[in-house]
Structure formats: C-alpha cells, structure tokens
Chain A
Amino acid sequence: MTTYVEPIIAKEETPKKKKGKKVSHWKTNLFVFLMLLYPVAQFLIMWFGVNINSIFLTFKTYESGELVWVFQSTALQGKGFFETLFYNYSTLINSIINSETTQSMFKASLVYFIISCLITLPISMLFSYFVFKKILANGFFKVIFFLPSILPLFILTMVYSLSLGPNGLVGGFLGWFGVDATEWLSNIFIGDNAKWAVWIFCIWAGIGYDVILLTAGMSRIPRDILESCKMDGVSPVKEFFKIIIPLTWPTITTLFIFGMMSVFNVTFQPFFLVSGQYDTMTIGLHIYQASTGSGLQEPATLGLFCSIIGAPIIVATRWGMNKCFKDVGF
C-alpha cells in the first residue's frame, strides 16, 4: 500500500521544487550582484579609471597652474598635429637622448635587474637549498630570513645606515681589532660609495624574501624523489640542478619576474638611504617624487613609456621561462 502512494507524493513535489528553484535563481543573481558590487566598482575606479586617466594625462600639459589638453595649450599653438599630440612623449625621448640625469636614472634602475635576478636570486637559491636540507639551526635561520618581510623598510634602512655610520656598530667592532675605519665609514653614503651602499642593502634585505618563498617551494617536493636520489647515489650538486631547480621552477620564475619588476619598483631604498642622490635616483623614486609635485603629465608619460617597453618583455620572459621545464604536478 505504502509503496503505491510514494510515487504520487513524488509527482506532487516536482512542480513545487521547480518553483522553488526559480525563486532561488533570482535570489542567487542578487547575491552574486551584491557580492561583486563593491569589489568590481573599486577595481573599475582604481584600476581602469586610474590607468585610463594615466593615458589621458600623457596628452595634457600645464598651463597657468592647470592641466589642459595639449591642443588647448597656447604654448604649443602653431606646431604640427603630431608634434602637439605627442608633445610629452617627444619631451621624454629628448631628455632620454640628451639629459644626463635621465640617462643616469635609467642606468641606476636597470642595475636592479642584475641585483635582483642575477645576484640575489642565485644566492637565495643556494641558501634555500641548505635550509631545505636542514642545516643546523635551520628553524632559527628561517626566522632571520623572515625579518626583512615583516619589518618596515624604513627601520631596516635606518638600522643599516646607523650601523655603518661613523659612530656605528661596524666602526666600533673594527675598532676592537685596532682597525680605524672612521674615515672610510664616514664616506660610505657619499659619492660613488653611495651606489654600492644601496646595492648591498638591496641584496642584504632581499635575500630573505626569496629564501622564504624558495624553501616553501622546495618543501613541496615529495620525499620519495629525494630518497630515491639518495639511494641512487646522486651527488648534491646534481640533485640541486637536476631535481630541485626543475621542481621549484614556478617559484623561481615568479621571483625572476619580481626581480625584473624591481627595475621599475625600487623606490624607497635609495630614498631612505641617500635621498636619491649620487646617481641612485631610480625610475620609481622619480615618479614618486614628481607625483607629489605639480607636473603630473611628466611622471605619467614616463610611467606609460616604461610600461609599454617593460610589460611585453616581462610577459615574454614569463612565457619563455614557463616553457623551460615541463610542468609537473605533485
């Protein structure tokens, strides 16, 4: 008897369920809309809005304290169409060709490619191999490598420059051994030495971040692989180059890309250490300082110029590096 009734109830329920689904569909749409409303609006303003405005800025110029389109400028009247339109760009290219300050700025920024990608990253790869291989006190060293990531950059630069300063820790330490380095140390943030001081700081403070990410990448390597290496008698050097590097390649790629971006991103290291003097001015710092002034079109043009040149190179490098090793899921 009961088995006979059940299908009828089921039949009755089906239309109800459909109705319920329709209602929930409308509600779900509302839910999706509300959840995305703020993030999308914020993104539209702070990413699309900002970048489109940035492009607009490169076609504007200052005239009696106000930003106007290049065509409205009285100073540019009488010039040709393209000459007026690309006025900011031609000014920039002129300064790249002729101005020594601009050239030194580009050079100083490009050095950070070497520092981040060719010095800090390889050192970090070696360091993280040893941390991964559980060198004595590896837990303690991990905390040390972590410090630069959690301390404010300004405090790190201050600690660095005060320790190296004339009455600082390094001078005092050397003094214990009878070495009088006062004169050398008082010149460390001046003149040609200043560049080196900033570069060494970038390596010193940059290694930690890379090591942390790389050891995390390495810790995901399955133990079986390492065990079979050990059993087959693979030498550590071979293990490092043939096993560890290919298996952590995605992390290495990411860090390499970060390193390439540092050409444009290094801003406050030279600012806090030497106020951007002595040929340490970078693109990032110049844009930061110029943005707080009045001539907004100039840093905007420089930024767009760098993006147009830099972005394809970086995207291509990422693509190329992803091709290097077969992606292994583990």
Chain B
Amino acid sequence: MFTKLKYAIAKFFRNKHEANAQSEYERKHDTLYKRHGVEKAVFIVVFIIFAIFAASFIFPFLWILMNAFKTKADFARDAMCWPQNFTFDSFIKAFTFSNRATSNFNIFQMMGMSVIVAGFGTLVTVFTSSCAAYVVAKYKFPGRSVIFGVVIFSIIVPIVGALPSQIQLMKAMGLNDKVIGCIFLYSGGFGTNFLLLYSFFKNLSWTYVEAAKIDGASDFRIFGQVILPMAKGPITAVTILTLIGLWNDYITPSIYLSKQPTIAVGIYYMQQTMLATRADYPMFFATIILTLLPIILVFVLFSKTIMENTSVGGLKG
C-alpha cells in the first residue's frame, strides 16, 4: 500500500511537472505569446507588480508560520527574526485550548462541528440541487416554467435584510441552536448549484435515458444508475466548491449555532481570548496554521477541479 501511495504521489508530481513544461514551452514558442519592444517592457513591469501582489499574500502567512514556533517573549522582543528557542508549545497549547467563550470546545471539536455541519450541508444541498435540476431540465410537467422563473428571479433580484425574518422563522420552527437547523438552511436545492447542474443536464443527451427506459428501468433507477454517474464531473466540482464555501461560512453558524461553534466561528471567539485578553500571539498563529491545514489539503488534492470549475458557477450568476 505504501508503494502504491508513493507511486501515486510521484505520478502526481510528474504530471504536474509535465504540464508545467508544456505550458512553459507554449509560452516560449507560441507566436501568439511572442512579445517585442514596448510590449515586453510592459509585461516585465506587470510581472513585478504581480510579484509584489503575490508577496503580499505569501509573506504574511510565512511570517505567521515562523512566529508560531516562537515563545511569547521571543515574539514580543523581535517579530522578524528566526525563532531563537524553536518550540512547539504554541501548537500544543492551541490543540487543547478551550474556554467559556468557545463553549468549552477545543479546536478539534470545532473542526468536528465543521465537518458535520459543512459536510452534511454539502451532501444534502448537492443532492437536492441535482434532483431539482435534473427534473426541471428534463421533464415536462405543469408548473415547470413557473419554478424556473421564480428561481431565476430569486437569484437575479437581490433581497436585502431577510436575516431578521429568517431568525424569527427559524426560532418559530424550533431549529435555532441545532445542527439540523443549520443543515436545513444550507439544504436549498435552488441556488447557483441548481443553475450549474441545470445547464449540464439540459445539454445531456437523452438517448441513454431512452435506451434505459426501453430496457424497462424506472425513473428512479435511471436517475441513480444512468444520470448520476454521467454527471460525476460537475457534481464533484459543485460538491468541493460548496464544501469550501460552507466550511468558511461565518454568518449562519454564528447566528444559529453560537453555542456549538464551527471552526470558522470558533477562531473568532478564540482570537478574542488569545489576543485581547492574553496577548499570546504565537498561540493564535499556531491556531491559524492548524485551521488552514484542512483547507490547504483539500485545495492541493482538488486544485484542478476547483480552479477549472469556480468560473462556471460565477458566469451563470
């Protein structure tokens, strides 16, 4: 198994390397990207601007990573130097930190909450979106155009300040302060995911379904065994993008799950104690690093899916 993993990692990097080499070759030898004179100069200037912009994103994170290994006193003395007394104390403290502000949740429990809320929320909303998108795209039934029209209207026309009413309604339904309430809020089937999957299903050939129908498959079976496997690509993309969005969501859990904080909300609570009360910067830095790890992991694993598909969702909006 270990060798398999090793092989997979090696393959991943080899593919990446090949792709890079390919694009580099294209960049150098493609007439489309040949530049001369002033144009070349402009590109160099813009490259420098880009490099500064990139540095403004990378260096703060490196700085935080570096300072997470310092002691509190070391950080206070010099925030810029290399750690003198290299220590993992801040990470250990960050692992176990919990207090009243975080409802006695530590960082792992918060991440667990995030896994539950964002995970189930994503599963449910992707499933309902695919159901709704498939039926609206492919079946003729009375009220279909009404549903589609209302959904488009709800996406195009911005409605400000539905929050107070939403809070009142959620309280009335007894879904406040419950995990299921959060998941219910996320579980909508008619958001932007709907539009993305709708356009996919709309362009999907109907012949497979006809073939399956002639063979006597029921509609449920067709959906489960013919349509969903064909829609694997867009559904994976939508799932990952939704997962990242819900993982990072602050507003919903901060209102409806304030006593069982997810990591996105919890880190805000932790910051209040760690920085405002204790002024323990390295511990907070360690917390930030720990919080970022799962996101970075998902991004590295699925970067291609994420980067190729974010755009599609936005275009339809």
A contacts, CB < 8 Å to B: 24, 27-29, 31-32, 35-36, 38-40, 42-43, 45-47, 49-51, 53-54, 56-57, 67, 127, 130, 133-144, 146-147, 149-155, 158-160, 162-163, 167-169, 172-173, 175-176, 204, 207, 212-213, 215-217, 223, 226-227, 230, 236, 250-251, 254-255, 257-258, 261, 264, 267-268, 272, 283-284, 287-288, 290-292, 296-297, 299-300, 302-304, 306-307, 310-311, 314-315, 318
B82-90, B104-112, B200-208, B247-255 - the one binding chain A: B247-255
- B63 cross-chain contacts in A, Cβ below 8 A: 163, 169
- B169 cross-chain contacts in A, Cβ below 8 A: 45, 49-50, 53
Kindly count the residue-residue contacts between A and B in the assembled complex, taking CB atoms under 8 Å apart: 269
The answer to whether A135 and B50 touch across the interface, beta carbons within 8 angstroms, is yes
Give A294 to B255 CA distance when docked, in angstroms: 13
The answer to whether B303 and A296 touch across the interface, beta carbons within 8 angstroms, is no
Given A169-B59, A292-B255, A296-B167, decide whether A307 and B33 contact each other with a Cβ distance below 8 A: no
The answer to whether B128 and A38 touch across the interface, beta carbons within 8 angstroms, is yes
The answer to whether A154 and B250 touch across the interface, beta carbons within 8 angstroms, is yes
Additional 6 contacts, C-beta under 8 A, given A24-B213, A42-B187: A130-B43, A137-B50, A167-B75, A284-B160, A291-B255, A296-B168
Q: How far is the CB of B227 from chain A (nearest CB, A)?
A: 11
The answer to whether A51 and B159 touch across the interface, beta carbons within 8 angstroms, is yes
- B129 cross-chain contacts in A, Cβ below 8 A: 39
Report which of A27, A29, A217, A311 forms a contact with B311, defined as CB distance below 8 A: A217
B4-12, B94-102, B287-295 - the one binding chain A: B287-295
Q: List 28 A-B contacts (CB under 8 A).
A: A27-B218, A31-B223, A35-B223, A39-B129, A42-B187, A43-B190, A47-B190, A49-B169, A50-B165, A56-B165, A130-B46, A150-B299, A151-B292, A152-B291, A154-B267, A159-B64, A159-B288, A162-B64, A167-B76, A173-B80, A212-B311, A251-B315, A261-B158, A267-B251, A300-B165, A307-B161, A315-B157, A318-B156
Q: How far is the CB of A230 from chain B (nearest CB, A)?
A: 6
Task: Identify the closest chain B residue to A286 (Cβ).
Answer: B161
Task: Identify the closest chain A residue to B172 (Cβ).
Answer: A53
Task: Identify the closest chain A residue to B194 (Cβ).
Answer: A39
The answer to whether A287 and B315 touch across the interface, beta carbons within 8 angstroms, is no
The answer to whether A144 and B190 touch across the interface, beta carbons within 8 angstroms, is no
The answer to whether B159 and A307 touch across the interface, beta carbons within 8 angstroms, is yes
- A153 cross-chain contacts in B, Cβ below 8 A: 248, 250
Report which of A31, A43, A152 forms a contact with B264, defined as CB distance below 8 A: A152
B contacts, CB < 8 Å to A: 20, 23, 26-27, 31-33, 39, 42-43, 46-47, 50, 53-54, 56-61, 63-64, 75-76, 78-80, 128-129, 131-132, 134-136, 139, 141, 147, 150-151, 154, 156-169, 184-185, 187-190, 213, 218-220, 223, 244, 247-248, 250-251, 255, 264, 267-268, 271, 281, 284, 288, 291-292, 295, 299, 303, 306-307, 310-312, 314-315, 317
Report which of A155, A216, A307 forms a contact with B160, defined as CB distance below 8 A: A307
The answer to whether B50 and A57 touch across the interface, beta carbons within 8 angstroms, is no
- B161 cross-chain contacts in A, Cβ below 8 A: 54, 264, 283, 287, 299-300, 302-304, 306-307
Decide if the interface of chain B is mainly helix, strand, loop or mixed. helix
Task: Identify the closest chain B residue to A214 (Cβ).
Answer: B311
Q: How far is the CB of B272 from chain A (nearest CB, A)?
A: 11
Report which of B76, B165, B188 forms a contact with A39, defined as CB distance below 8 A: B188
Q: How far is the CB of B93 from chain A (nearest CB, A)?
A: 18
- A133 cross-chain contacts in B, Cβ below 8 A: 33, 43
Give A39 to B60 CA distance when docked, in angstroms: 43
Task: Identify the closest chain A residue to B258 (Cβ).
Answer: A292
Give A207 to B56 CA distance when docked, in angstroms: 13
The answer to whether A299 and B164 touch across the interface, beta carbons within 8 angstroms, is yes
- A268 cross-chain contacts in B, Cβ below 8 A: 250-251
Give A303 to B159 CA distance when docked, in angstroms: 8
The answer to whether A287 and B160 touch across the interface, beta carbons within 8 angstroms, is yes
Give A169 to B288 CA distance when docked, in angstroms: 16
Give A169 to B46 CA distance when docked, in angstroms: 24
Report which of B78, B128, B147 forms a contact with A42, defined as CB distance below 8 A: B128
The answer to whether B33 and A136 touch across the interface, beta carbons within 8 angstroms, is no
Give A45 to B58 CA distance when docked, in angstroms: 43
Give A207 to B54 CA distance when docked, in angstroms: 12
Given A32-B135, A40-B147, A142-B307, decide whether A287 and B128 contact each other with a Cβ distance below 8 A: no
- B162 cross-chain contacts in A, Cβ below 8 A: 50-51, 54, 303
Task: Identify the closest chain B residue to A45 (Cβ).
Answer: B169
Report which of A130, A226, A311 forms a contact with B50, defined as CB distance below 8 A: A130
Task: Identify the closest chain A residue to B213 (Cβ).
Answer: A24
- A264 cross-chain contacts in B, Cβ below 8 A: 158, 160-161
Task: Identify the closest chain B residue to A154 (Cβ).
Answer: B268
Task: Identify the closest chain B residue to A151 (Cβ).
Answer: B295
- B184 cross-chain contacts in A, Cβ below 8 A: 42
Report which of A141, A160, A175, A236 forms a contact with B80, defined as CB distance below 8 A: A175
Q: How far is the CB of A134 from chain B (nearest CB, A)?
A: 5
Give A188 to B53 CA distance when docked, in angstroms: 20
Q: How far is the CB of A233 from chain B (nearest CB, A)?
A: 12
Give A64 to B134 CA distance when docked, in angstroms: 50
Q: How far is the CB of B57 from chain A (nearest CB, A)?
A: 5
The answer to whether B33 and A134 touch across the interface, beta carbons within 8 angstroms, is yes
Q: How far is the CB of B278 from chain A (nearest CB, A)?
A: 15
Q: How far is the CB of B97 from chain A (nearest CB, A)?
A: 16
The answer to whether A151 and B165 touch across the interface, beta carbons within 8 angstroms, is no
